Amino acid sequence: MTIKYYAQLIDWTGCTQEELPVTAEEDSGISPVSVSSGKVSVRMVLSALESRHKEPFKVNIYDSATDTLQDDFFILLNGRHLARLQGLDTLVSDTDILSVIPVTEAG
Amino acid sequence: MIQKDKNDLFIDDTRYSRQISLPGIGRAGQFLLSQKRVLVIGAGGLGSPLLFALAGAGIGHITIVDSDTVSESNLNRQFLYRAADIGQQKARLASERLLEYHPDLSVDPVCELLSDVNAPGLIQTHDLVIAAVDNRQTRILINKYCCIFRKVLVDGGVRAFSGYAAVIEPGRTPCYHCLFGIDEKSRIKDPPGVLGSIAGTIGSLEATLAVIMLLGLKNPLDGEIMYFHAGNMSFDRLKIERDPKCPHCSALWKQPSGAAGAREKEPESVK
């Protein structure tokens, strides 16, 4: 799947977007969330991204140890807010686009 | 100099010569802008550049809503104001500054907090609404009444070195609530830092989008949100989907006419 980052997320991850295969075979070693069943949740994707990006992702976006998603970000799956889907339990596929955007309210 | 042409259009050809020469504007477009009424909610960091840009573009009437007074921490980005203005009403000062810049402009200051009491009357009586506010609650309120009255809403926001701009056409694009209306509480606990020029960038983009929409040109964002990030000088677009259960805009999608076509018709819900 494709993960797209906006605003300061670009600084923290060092990229504007990246790919994370989620339907590859279990032993392919392509990514930490590779499974054969195809049942991958957003939580698993975020954990994999935390492993990939380490501290900036863990501190600012998602901490898998406490299952804590910082609340000044929105996560969209194919343009829809996770809260309108099944939250972190929402299942994803390899063709999905996950967008992470900061809450931007100042004027 | 204001001149009347063969089509009876009164236009200041000298002041607007650089715009009239543009394809897509011309004398007819300039006249169209002179007939438009724009409601700008917020006269702060976003409001400073966009209000001057709207006045310079020749918008006929601008109403400025802001209940706030000028404070010292505003002055890094709110160039409508001076150090001597601290403590004075922003909406009134902004109106004065715009009239100094463009004496023929029609401008009304409204030194009030936008609320369910004054929002319907204000939004209903303007052609287009611009949100230049600093919190989510007000954006949700503005969006609600723009959906009710089917007014085009240009929104923008800034944070740190980044910002976004969006055009919401109720019934044609997802609305603010579709994306950000998960809860009405602001998620920002402290006043967020922002580079002054970022507010200038996003405010200018909002003004540009507003003029394009007022001219009746194609919505260049077409329902997407544009994010700017100064860290890598990138403009990125975010495609969002409408919420089929949105309490504000979902019913509008079932109606065949678009926002422009229904603009003059008062919805049943507000009669």
Contact residues for A67 (Cβ-Cβ < 8 A; gap 6+): A43, A88
Evaluate whether residue B9 is within a structural domain: no
Most confident of A26-35, B180-189, B191-200, B218-227: B218-227
Q: What are phi and psi of A7, to 5 degrees?
A: 55, -135
Q: Which of A57, A107, A83, A4 is nearest to B238 (CA)?
A: A4
Name the band, by pLDDT with cuts 50, 70 and 90, for residue B41.
very high
| Residue B87 region by backbone torsions, left for phi larger than 0, else alpha for psi between -120 and 50, else beta | left
Distances (CA, A) of A89 to A67, A102, B109, B146: 12, 21, 48, 34
The predicted pLDDT at position B8 comes to 61
Please report, for the domain that includes residue B56, its CATH number.
3.40.50.720
Q: Contact at 8 Å (CB) between B47 and B203?
A: yes
User: What is this structure's pTM?
Assistant: 0.89
E-strand stretches of chain B: 2-4, 10-12, 37-41, 61-65, 106-110, 128-131, 152-159, 162-168, 224-229, 234-239
pLDDT at A38 over 70: no
Write down all domains in chain A, each with its CATH number in brackets. Answer: 2-102 (3.10.20.30)
Evaluate whether residue B166 is within a structural domain: yes
Evaluate whether residue B228 is within a structural domain: yes
Evaluate whether residue B151 is within a structural domain: yes
In whole angstroms, what separates CA B109 from the centre of its chain? 15
Q: Rounded to the nearest 10 degrees, how much is the dihedral formed by the CA atoms of B1, B19, B77, B158? A: 150
* Number of domains present in the structure of chain B: 1
pLDDT at B32 over 80: yes
How many separate helices (H) and strands (E) can be counted in chain A?
3, 9
- What ipTM is given for this predicted complex? 0.85
Evaluate whether residue B146 is within a structural domain: yes
Evaluate whether residue B268 is within a structural domain: no
Place of tokens 């997320």: A9
Which three-class secondary structure state does DSSP give residue B2? strand
What range does the domain containing B180 cover? 20-253
> Least CA distance to B228: which residue of chain A?
A7
Evaluate whether residue B10 is within a structural domain: no
Q: Contact at 8 Å (CB) between B147 and B247?
A: no
From chain B, the residues in CB contact with A101 under 8 A are 227, 238
Say if B163 is an interface residue toward chain A (CB within 8 Å).
yes
| Residue B160 region by backbone torsions, left for phi larger than 0, else alpha for psi between -120 and 50, else beta | left
Sign of the CA dihedral with B182 first, then A2, B174, and B140 last: positive
Mutate one of B180, B221, B246 to test the A interface: name it (highest A CB count within 10 A): B180
Mutate one of A2, A4, A5, A6 to test the B interface: name it (highest B CB count within 10 A): A6
The predicted pLDDT at position B1 comes to 58
Evaluate whether residue B14 is within a structural domain: no
Name the band, by pLDDT with cuts 50, 70 and 90, for residue B24.
confident
Say if B179 is an interface residue toward chain A (CB within 8 Å).
yes
Which three-class secondary structure state does DSSP give residue A40? strand
Q: Contact at 8 Å (CB) between B249 and B178?
A: yes
pLDDT at B192 over 80: no
Average pLDDT over chain B, rounded to an integer: 89
Average pLDDT over chain A, rounded to an integer: 86
pLDDT digits (tens, 9 = 90+) for B134-170: 999 999 999 999 999 999 999 999 999 999 999 999 9
**Secondary element (H or E) of residue A43:** helix A42-53
CA distance B114 to B65: 7
